[in-house]
Amino acid sequence: MHGFEYGGVMALPKILGSETEYGLTVQNDPEFDSIATSLLLVNSYNADQSLKLLWDYDQEDPMVDARGFELDDEYDIPDHQDNMAINKILPNGARFYVDHAHPEFSTPECSNVLDLIRYEKAGERILNLSRLGANQLIPNGRTIIIYKNNSDQKGNSYGYHENYLLDRRTPFQTIAERFMPFLVSRQIYCGAGKVGSENGAEHVPYQISQRADFFETEMGLDTMVKRPIINTRDEPHANRDRYRRLHVIIGDANMSEFTTYLKVGTALVVLQMIEDGFLPEPLVLRNPVRALRDISHDPTCKVAVPMKNGSKMTAIDIQRWYHEAAQRYIGQYPDCHATYPTVVAEWGFVLERLASDPMQLFREIDWVMKLHLLTNYMERRGSSWDDPRIAMMDLQYHDIRPEKGLYYVLERGGAARRMLMEEDIVRSMDDPPEDTRAYFRGQCLKKFKSQIFGVNWDSISFNLGDGPIKRIMMEEPTRGTKHHVQQLLDRSETAADLVANIVT
């Protein structure tokens, strides 16, 4: 199955982004309506500058499957008025919108892991500002609360999705086979932790992942039912002949900056190795769905899961296999990417500690940070796992309010390892990344917002008053950078100038 060429670093630049669906409630509102509250939130961010423009659904194909077929399920495109209400495109290049019954934030396209965590964290701050605005519009005594987690503890899960731009030439099956054992085992350093189990899984007091109980198949197009470990949605939001976008739906939303860094950084390295043919003989799990759950249910990280070749490996063994390959890869190609050597070093550091005693990572990894807090709380308060305060802490760890969220309490107390400067997060709420097409989108929103008609990831269209709508296609995510377009933007006073300057 791996008959493609093996050579030097051939992989295309890995543009990436994340989508976070937030949990939501309104305190003291017995008739809480999640859709109405999500709409209120999305329309409360920077309300006076709120842009009246459309999300351009023409370019979307969520029913196309990477394995080569297309579903003919109906896919509802909202009318203009609804479209403008549920979609906000922000000057930092992000999309903030209502997805089903949740507010969702998609980061702009990023070129590296550090930018990704900066924009994901900016998203939390943007949600919180929206919350403060929306609270002014609801009856006194009620408060909107937003959680960056993935489960309501009652069998309902909402997603956190990573997106990685890959080379269309790499066969999907090659990616899926080699990425699957990595995704199943990586939760030991990127789980967000959860009290109890759900969805029919056997009872445990605490488990590593928020999401593991909800995955039921190995591969497929679904995201809401029968969730697959490998999602096959083939909607590149870019030149379809050149790229695919791997849509990774299995991850937990993380509060910890370091955990997010490791989750995304390691995925980038592994995907690049796969594209460069550096993992010719993949590991194969005998039962990936079962392994996912068994690993999540064992916070000692000692459970060994069966492999197809008859052996058994722990999640740490599997991760070490990938990590050793990564060490060889960066040894052989030291210029592969500026961020990779540090990612690989941190990855090794974390695997060593997971092997000797996972609790050593109580400043680094979300599930350990939460477990450490809960066990210390139980010890001091003489309570146990069935104490309702423990379930409350499990939820409140993910509260995005700086004054109430328990993650933020830890962060303030110096008990969370950080990767970012606060001013860089604040700056990222308004300014787009400079080295992807998000720069062009964001700068157009800043400069020509009154003349923008619609936006999608790979296009932006202008209403110039006379004549048809002018749509500019942006099928190449690595173009439209500051380097490419700053001069063009500088010499275009109006959107009409811009369009004329692009066409000529």
Partner 1 sequence: MVRKQTRAGWTEWVGIVTCAESSQQQVRRTSDTQTNTASTPAANLSAKGEKLRDDMDALIEEIDEVLEENAEEFVKNYVQRGGE
What amino acid positions are annotated as catalytic residues?
99
Question: Does the protein bind partner 1 through residue 202 (CB under 8 A)?
Answer: no
SS3 433: coil
Residues 215-244 that bind partner 1 (CB under 8 A): 223-224
Binding mask 430-449 for partner 1 (x = CB under 8 A): --------------------
Q: How far is the CB of 384 from partner 1 (least distance, A)?
A: 6
Question: Does the protein bind partner 1 through residue 384 (CB under 8 A)?
Answer: yes
Q: Count residues binding partner 1 (CB under 8 A).
A: 60
Residues 104-143 that bind partner 1 (CB under 8 A): 104
229: enclosing H helix or E strand? strand 227-231
First to last CA, the chain: 47
Nearer to partner 1, 277 or 402 (CB): 402
Nearer to partner 1, 171 or 205 (CB): 205
Could you write out the DSSP letters of every residue in 312-349?
Answer: EEEHHHHHHHHHHHHHHHHHH-TTS-TTHHHHHHHHHH
User: How many Å apart are CA 502 and CA 498, to the nearest integer?
Assistant: 6
Task: Indicate which single residue of 240, 417, 471, 479 sits in contact with partner 1 (rule: CB under 8 A).
Answer: 417
Task: Indicate which single residue of 85, 201, 304, 391 sits in contact with partner 1 (rule: CB under 8 A).
Answer: 391
Nearer to partner 1, 328 or 381 (CB): 381
Contact 428, 120 (CB under 8 A): no
Task: Take residue 106 and report the two structure tokens written for it.
Answer: 């998609």
Task: Take residue 410 and report the two structure tokens written for it.
Answer: 């830890």
Question: Does the protein bind partner 1 through residue 453 (CB under 8 A)?
Answer: no
Q: In 280-305, which positions are buried (b, 16+ CB within 10 angstroms) versus exposed (e)?
A: eebbebeebbebbbbbbbbbebeebb
User: How many Å apart are CA 11 and CA 113, to the nearest integer?
Assistant: 17
Closest CA to 164 of 241, 41, 316, 266: 266
Q: How far is the CB of 229 from partner 1 (least distance, A)?
A: 14
Q: How far is the CB of 238 from partner 1 (least distance, A)?
A: 22
User: How many Å apart are CA 230 and CA 332, to the nearest integer?
Assistant: 29
Question: Does the protein bind partner 1 through residue 349 (CB under 8 A)?
Answer: yes
Task: Take residue 182 and report the two structure tokens written for it.
Answer: 């990595």
User: How many Å apart are CA 416 and CA 370, to the nearest integer?
Assistant: 11
Q: How far is the CB of 219 from partner 1 (least distance, A)?
A: 16
Q: How far is the CB of 159 from partner 1 (least distance, A)?
A: 4
User: How many Å apart are CA 282 and CA 308, to the nearest integer?
Assistant: 11
Question: Does the protein bind partner 1 through residue 378 (CB under 8 A)?
Answer: yes
Question: Does the protein bind partner 1 through residue 6 (CB under 8 A)?
Answer: no
Q: How far is the CB of 27 from partner 1 (least distance, A)?
A: 8
Question: Does the protein bind partner 1 through residue 483 (CB under 8 A)?
Answer: no
Task: Indicate which single residue of 388, 465, 467, 468 sits in contact with partner 1 (rule: CB under 8 A).
Answer: 388
Task: Indicate which single residue of 410, 425, 474, 489 sits in contact with partner 1 (rule: CB under 8 A).
Answer: 410
Residues 6+ apart with CB under 8 A from 41: 24, 103, 127, 130, 131, 134, 144, 146
Query: What's the one-letter identity of residue 65?
Result: D
Question: Does the protein bind partner 1 through residue 370 (CB under 8 A)?
Answer: no
C-alpha angle 451-454-458 in degrees, rounded to nearest 5: 120
Q: How many CB atoms lie within 10 A of CB 373?
A: 21
Task: Indicate which single residue of 238, 406, 445, 489 sits in contact with partner 1 (rule: CB under 8 A).
Answer: 406
C-alpha dihedral over 179, 276, 113, 231, to 10 degrees?
A: -30
Question: Does the protein bind partner 1 through residue 372 (CB under 8 A)?
Answer: yes
Nearer to partner 1, 199 or 287 (CB): 199
Task: Indicate which single residue of 66, 274, 330, 395 sits in contact with partner 1 (rule: CB under 8 A).
Answer: 395
Q: How far is the CB of 282 from partner 1 (least distance, A)?
A: 27
Residues 6+ apart with CB under 8 A from 1: 171, 173, 174, 177
Residues 246-305 that bind partner 1 (CB under 8 A): 249, 299-300
Site of interaction with partner 1 (CB under 8 A): 21, 23-25, 34, 99-102, 104, 152-154, 156-159, 161, 205, 223-224, 249, 299-300, 349, 357-360, 362-364, 371-373, 375-382, 384-385, 388-389, 391-393, 395-396, 403-404, 406, 409-410, 413, 415, 417
